[in-house]
């Protein structure tokens, strides 16, 4: 047996991601408290569960996780890597969240950012080390010919590194983010852009959430990999691929797949009727007040989610449609995310400031226009989903946005979705949603008014169709489709 009580090279199916299904907090009394990880990636992959027999390799993220690794505490089917904390911080905060996330979501304020200097180069070295640690762990755990599904922008180099160690494996990589347009991606230093793409193209198959992101990726390849012979191809009714030849070692063909992760209807419907959710519904109803319409949004407090413009749109609604005053409440849950980064902390403060300003300006003795909560609470999110008449999902750019898919499934009386055209979910949901340009605050206010004014019958009908589209590809099937596609590829392709 290997170091972890399992025989080495035993796993037939492996998943790798930075954030794993659980994260541990160290309590004052020295015990460890396990919590579910947040974000779309974990929501999607959690459906796999330990029963599927897959080994999930993830990173220790904080002191609690590191302590769990030290004590040998682990969930079944999960292996946490305690990579050096400084290396992890540079790779995760420095490169993944401050560079790659910003590139793919086009978040830079370009007159001053980005600056790729010596500090960036140092962090880039850590990103390589971090990816190598994953590649080595996967190489040690994977059975001959096993399937390995590597997740997201944190691990863009790992596929190529793993292939060097273990050419026998079937390697997949999945992007949970949008893909940047080639001209934006090319802000990255040329050698870094090239290394990232070649790292990903070391996989047999790359997955994206929508056709839009897959196509942008395919356009990026020839534009960055100038010295190579690059052939992207998307023949009608056949699988798309990117083929790369020389200079240097042969690369070959990488298949491209589109898998639009859907909501897990069965889990959500069951979970949203448990007693803790009912309790929170009662508490929320008290905060909202009887007989009022409810506009709900639930996000990580994330720069790309556009929470500030959403609040400004709500303020515009109250200004321009005074008939809604006292008759509507905006329930906004903005859960802390990536608080090591100053720009996220500032954004969080701005969200709270604007919500308070709206309440100050419009609130009355019996009416609080914005109910903002910032403490992460999954049961309370589900309670808000059930109460929603309108769901506001207005990101400036988003790989998918699972909240847009979850609310229509859970909402009790049906809800109208106000949806950004820049969210991946737009591809599947736009026909039944009220679509907005996320930068257009006036337009979003008008959309909120329309959504609130929709007759009950029409709202219910639309909700049914939204829920059907949102659950077309449940997480388990989403995962199995990718696994099967990978297993069907001949070895060495
Ligand atoms: C997005 C990313 C995921 C990430 C999640 C939460 O959904 O695609 O990879 O796990 O955000 O972000 P965090 O930095 O907290 O893991």
From 176, 344, 405, the mutation candidate for ligand 1 (largest count of ligand atoms within 8 A of CB) is 176
Beta bridge partners of 299: 334
List all residues whose CB is within 6 A of at least one atom of ligand 1: 19, 38-41, 152, 176-177, 337-338
Q: Which two tokens stand for residue 192?
A: 């870094």
At 42 the pLDDT is: 83
Structure tokens at 493: 């392709």
Q: What is the dihedral of CA 43, 46, 48, 49, to 10 degrees?
A: -160
The preferred substitution site among 18, 36, 39 for testing ligand 1, maximizing ligand atoms within 8 Å of CB, is 39
**Structure-token match 């947040």, residue found:** 38
Instruction: Output the pLDDT for position 7.
Output: 64
Picking from 222, 171, 215, 218, the residue whose alpha carbon sits closest to that of residue 194 is: 222
Q: Distances from the Cα of 248 to the Cαs of 147, 161, 227, 244, 245, in angstroms?
A: 26, 15, 10, 11, 8
* Predicted pLDDT of residue 227: 84
Divide the 493 residues of the chain into consecutive groups of 10 and give the mean pLDDT of each group: 62 95 92 83 74 87 94 91 97 98 97 98 98 98 96 98 96 98 98 97 97 98 93 94 80 94 96 98 98 97 98 98 98 96 98 98 98 96 98 98 97 97 98 98 98 97 98 94 91 44
This complex has an ipTM of: 0.99
Identify the CA nearest to 407 among candidates 424, 395, 425: 425
Ligand 1 atom at minimum distance from 38 CA: 6
First to last CA, the chain: 32
- Neighbour order of strands in the sheet with 370-373: 370-373, 328-335, 293-300, 390-393, 416-420, 434-436
Q: Measured in whole angstroms, how far is the alpha carbon of residue 326 from the centre of its chain?
A: 35
Cα–ligand 1 centroid distance for 144 (angstroms): 30
- Ligand 1 centroid to Cα of residue 328, in Å, is 32
Ligand 1 atom index nearest CA of 42: 10
Atom of ligand 1 nearest to the CA of 92: 14
- Are 26 and 32 a contacting pair, CB within 8 Å? yes
The reported pLDDT for the residue numbered 419 is: 99
What is the DSSP secondary structure assignment for residue 432, as one 8-state letter? G
Distance from the alpha carbon of residue 302 to the mean position of ligand 1, in angstroms: 10
Q: What 3-state class would DSSP assign to 205?
A: strand
State how far the Cα of 124 lies from the Cα of 265, in Å rounded to an integer.
Answer: 40
Which ligand 1 atom is nearest residue 97's CA? 14
209 CA → ligand 1 middle, Å: 14
Mutation to probe ligand 1, out of 23, 37, 40 (largest number of atoms < 8 A from CB): 40
**Angle, alpha carbons 174-345-64 (nearest 5°):** 65
* Torsion angles phi and psi, residue 54, rounded to 5: -85, 150
Q: Residue 140's pLDDT is what?
A: 97
Do 262 and 471 contact (CB within 8 A), yes or no? yes
Q: Which residue has the tokens 């709202």?
A: 459
CA of 54 from ligand 1 middle (Å) equals 21
Whole-number Å distance, alpha carbon 41 to ligand 1 midpoint, is 6
* Ligand 1 atom 3: residue of nearest CA: 41
Per the document, the length of the chain is 493
Q: How far is the CA of 399 from the centre of ligand 1 (A)?
A: 11
383 CA → ligand 1 middle, Å: 23
- State the distance from the centre of ligand 1 to the C-alpha of 303, rounded, in angstroms: 13
Backbone angles phi, psi at 32, to 5 degrees: -105, 135
Task: State the Cα–Cα distance between residues 256 and 101, nearest whole angstrom.
Answer: 21
- Whose Cα sits closest to atom 11 in ligand 1? 39
């Amino acid at each position: 047996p290997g170091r972890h009580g399992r025989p080495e090279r035993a796993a037939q199916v492996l998943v790798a991601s930075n954030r794993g299904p659980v994260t541990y907090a160290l309590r004052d009394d020295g015990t460890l408290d396990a919590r579910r990880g947040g974000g779309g990636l974990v929501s999607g992959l959690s459906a796999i569960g330990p029963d599927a027999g897959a080994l999930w390799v993830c990173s220790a993220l904080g002191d609690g996780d590191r302590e769990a690794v030290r004590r040998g505490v682990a969930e079944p089917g999960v292996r946490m890597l305690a990579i050096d904390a400084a290396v992890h911080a540079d790779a995760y905060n420095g490169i993944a969240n401050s560079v790659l996330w910003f590139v793919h979501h086009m978040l830079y304020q370009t007159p001053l950012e980005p600056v790729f200097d010596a500090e960036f180069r140092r962090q880039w070295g850590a990103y390589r080390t971090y990816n190598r640690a994953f590649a080595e762990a996967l190489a040690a755990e994977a059975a001959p010919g096993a399937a390995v599904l590597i997740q997201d922008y944190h691990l863009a180099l790992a596929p190529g590194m793993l292939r060097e160690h273990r050419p026998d494996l079937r390697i997949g990589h999945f992007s949970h983010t949008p893909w940047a347009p080639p001209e934006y991606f090319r802000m990255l230093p040329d050698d870094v852009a090239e290394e990232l793409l070649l790292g990903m193209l070391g996989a047999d198959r790359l997955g994206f959430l929508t056709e839009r992101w897959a196509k942008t990726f395919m356009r990026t390849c020839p534009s960055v990999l100038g010295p190579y012979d690059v052939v992207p191809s998307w023949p009608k009714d056949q699988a798309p691929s990117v083929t790369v030849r020389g200079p240097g070692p042969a690369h070959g063909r990488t298949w491209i797949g589109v898998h639009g992760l859907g909501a897990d209807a069965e889990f959500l419907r069951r979970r949203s009727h448990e007693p803790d959710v009912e309790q929170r519904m009662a508490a929320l109803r008290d905060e909202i007040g009887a007989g009022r319409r409810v506009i709900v949004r639930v996000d990580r407090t994330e720069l790309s989610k556009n929470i500030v413009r959403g609040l400004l749109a709500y303020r515009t609604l109250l200004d321009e449609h005074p008939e809604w005053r006292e008759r509507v409440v905006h329930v906004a849950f903005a859960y802390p995310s990536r608080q090591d980064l100053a720009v996220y902390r500032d954004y969080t403060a701005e969200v709270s400031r604007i919500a308070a300003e709206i309440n100050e300006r419009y609130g009355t003795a019996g009416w609080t226009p914005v109910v903002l909560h910032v403490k992460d609470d999954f049961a309370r999110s589900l309670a808000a989903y059930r109460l929603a008449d309108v769901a506001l999902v207005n990101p400036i750019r988003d790989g998918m946005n699972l909240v847009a898919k979850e609310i229509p499934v859970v909402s009790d009386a049906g809800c109208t979705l106000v949806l950004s055209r820049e969210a991946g979910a737009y591809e599947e949901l736009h026909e039944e949603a009220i679509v907005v340009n996320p930068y257009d605050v006036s337009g979003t206010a008008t959309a909120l008014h329309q959504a609130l004014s929709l007759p009950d019958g029409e709202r219910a009908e639309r909700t049914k169709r939204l829920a059907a589209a949102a659950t077309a590809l449940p997480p388990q099937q989403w995962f199995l489709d990718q696994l099967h596609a990978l297993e069907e590829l001949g070895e060495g392709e």
